[in-house]
Amino acid sequence: MQDLAGKHIVLGLTGGIACYKSAELCRLFVKAGATVQVVMTEAAEQFITPVTMQALSGRTVYTSQWNTREPNNMPHINLSREADAIVLAPCSADFVARLVQGRSDDLLSLMCLARPMDRVPLLIAPAMNREMWAHPATQRNLMQVSADGATMLGVGSGWQACGETGDGRMLEPAQLLEDITAFFQPKLLAEQKVLVTAGPTFEALDPIRGITNHSSGKMGFAIARAAREAGAEVTLVAGPVHLPTPRGVTRVDVISAQDMLEATTRAAQSASIFVATAAVADWRPATHSDQKIKKDGSGKTPVLNFVENADILLTVAKSERAQAKKLFCVGFAAESENLAEHAKAKRERKGIPLLVGNIGPLTFGQDDNALLLVDAKGVRELPRAPKLTLARELMTEIAARLPDWRV
């Protein structure tokens, strides 16, 4: 997906060993559709060469204010005016201090100072030793830079090149790409609290076996990411899946339908939007064996009795908060046939404003999907596309419905 298509990013490198990550970040920007202009400080050149960054960006790297390529000798003006954003990755403690002081004794600091603040955002990915990160002077400077309008992208924690372990590592390139992509997305759900359920549930027969389904959780995780990109505070209740948690999302892992019910009803008490994407098991075994159920050689199969699981979506939709129109509920229907007919019936049965239908066998485990939006006005199709693309479209649909629904 070319999430940054049409964007022009100035990637600024300051002195630090994390410059090795900047090469991969530049590559990811280009792969996501952006054009990238690299600007390096003299200190950055001690860690990575301009030749490397030129090869990855496809553009000549700028290192000096006095570059004769610019007819007016003003690269600090020309480069900043062309940018959709300036990204400093890595940004050293020294360079953060320079920004606070408004210093402009090299091209990169001069360009940050000269940028039109109303239309060229400054995004900062700090990188430094854990003691430097924790120092009161650094923390004061970071707060001041944020107050001056920059966006802090945070730091990672772990082993550092100096041999110490702690906070201060530059985020990984893929993490930065996700954060920067989110930065550019419209904040349609700002101040909303979104609750998403995702994945299958697992209903145990014994310590070894159980009943589940083919849901991969990919659609629900895409929705959680899209909601966060849209500016919402997001809680993701996830069944047993092996997917990375989207950046900035609070994840609650559960196993069974009962676990999911308890976690969801608890989180729904403060949510304003609920998207029930999870493929919850309809039934669970009436009893659970403490030991593995084994064959006894008789050829007889064990008799299994089942009880119905609670309907999580219906439980939340009938809650006092939802009935008072403080919680907008969106359901998902995974069908194998007659999608529109079943989706319409399910929406009415649940009493919810919006239901999203899809054909389960065509989407489970896939990276793309096709959706059917069903509301009181009728049916609308979202043609097959990557799940994240569809998730973003769904956030737009939800945001558009909220004002009328709450009247």
**The tokens of 164 are what?**
């110490």
Widest pairwise Cα distance in the chain: 92
**What residues are annotated to the active site?**
162
HSE (CB half, 13 Å, CA atoms) of 282? Answer: 2
Q: What is residue 301's predicted lDDT score, i.e. its pLDDT?
A: 85
Instruction: Give the C-alpha separation, 392 to 232, whole Å.
Output: 13
- pLDDT tens digits, 251-298: 999 999 999 999 999 999 999 999 999 999 999 999 988 898 888 888
Distance of CA 27 to the CA centre of its chain: 20
Q: What is residue 78's predicted lDDT score, i.e. its pLDDT?
A: 83
Per-residue confidence at 361, pLDDT binned at 50, 70, 90?
low
- Residue 374 reports pLDDT greater than 90: yes
**The tokens of 134 are what?**
């924790």
If one counts every other C-beta atom within 10 angstroms of the C-beta of residue 186, the result is 13
Instruction: Give the C-alpha separation, 55 to 73, whole Å.
Output: 24
Reduced to 3 states (helix: H, G, I; strand: E, B; else coil), residue 211 is strand
- Closest by alpha carbon to 137, among 163, 87, 104, 101? 101
If one counts every other C-beta atom within 10 angstroms of the C-beta of residue 124, the result is 24
Instruction: Give the C-alpha separation, 249 to 229, whole Å.
Output: 10
Instruction: Give the C-alpha separation, 278 to 285, whole Å.
Output: 19
If one counts every other C-beta atom within 10 angstroms of the C-beta of residue 193, the result is 18
- Residue 378 reports pLDDT greater than 70: yes
Q: What is residue 54's predicted lDDT score, i.e. its pLDDT?
A: 97
- pLDDT tens digits, 51-77: 999 999 999 999 988 877 777 778 888
The answer to which of 28-37, 56-65, 167-176, 356-365 has the lowest mean pLDDT is: 356-365
Average pLDDT over the chain, rounded to an integer: 93
With both helix axes pointing from N to C terminus, report the angle between 107-114 and 75-82 in degrees, rounded to the nearest 10: 60
Q: What is residue 404's predicted lDDT score, i.e. its pLDDT?
A: 87
* CA dist list (Å): 133 to 112, 129, 144, 371: 22, 6, 15, 46
- What's the one-letter identity of residue 127? A
- pLDDT tens digits, 77-110: 888 899 999 999 999 999 999 999 999 889 999 9
- Residue 391 reports pLDDT greater than 90: yes
Instruction: Give the C-alpha separation, 319 to 308, whole Å.
Output: 20
Do the Cβ atoms of 342 and 375 come closer than 8 Å? no
CATH 3.40.50.10300 residue spans of the chain: 193-285+304-406
- Residue 305 reports pLDDT greater than 70: yes
Tokens 């772990």 -> residue = 158
Do the Cβ atoms of 74 and 107 come closer than 8 Å? no
- pLDDT tens digits, 119-142: 999 999 999 999 999 999 999 999
292's CB contacts (< 8 A; 6+ apart) are 206, 207, 208, 209
Q: What is residue 62's predicted lDDT score, i.e. its pLDDT?
A: 95
Over pLDDT 90: what percentage of the chain? 79
- Closest by alpha carbon to 380, among 351, 400, 406? 400
- pLDDT tens digits, 226-250: 999 999 999 999 999 999 999 999 9
Per-residue confidence at 362, pLDDT binned at 50, 70, 90?
low
- Residue 360 reports pLDDT greater than 70: no
**The tokens of 301 are what?**
């199969």
Over pLDDT 70: what percentage of the chain? 99
Q: Does domain 193-285+304-406 have CATH number 3.40.605.10?
A: no
Instruction: Give the C-alpha separation, 321 to 329, whole Å.
Output: 11
Per-residue confidence at 359, pLDDT binned at 50, 70, 90?
low
Residue 186: asked if its preceding bond is cis (omega within 30°), the reply is no
Tokens 């006095």 -> residue = 66
CATH 3.40.50.1950 residue spans of the chain: 8-184
The structural architecture, per CATH, of the domain 8-184 is 3-Layer(aba) Sandwich (3.40)
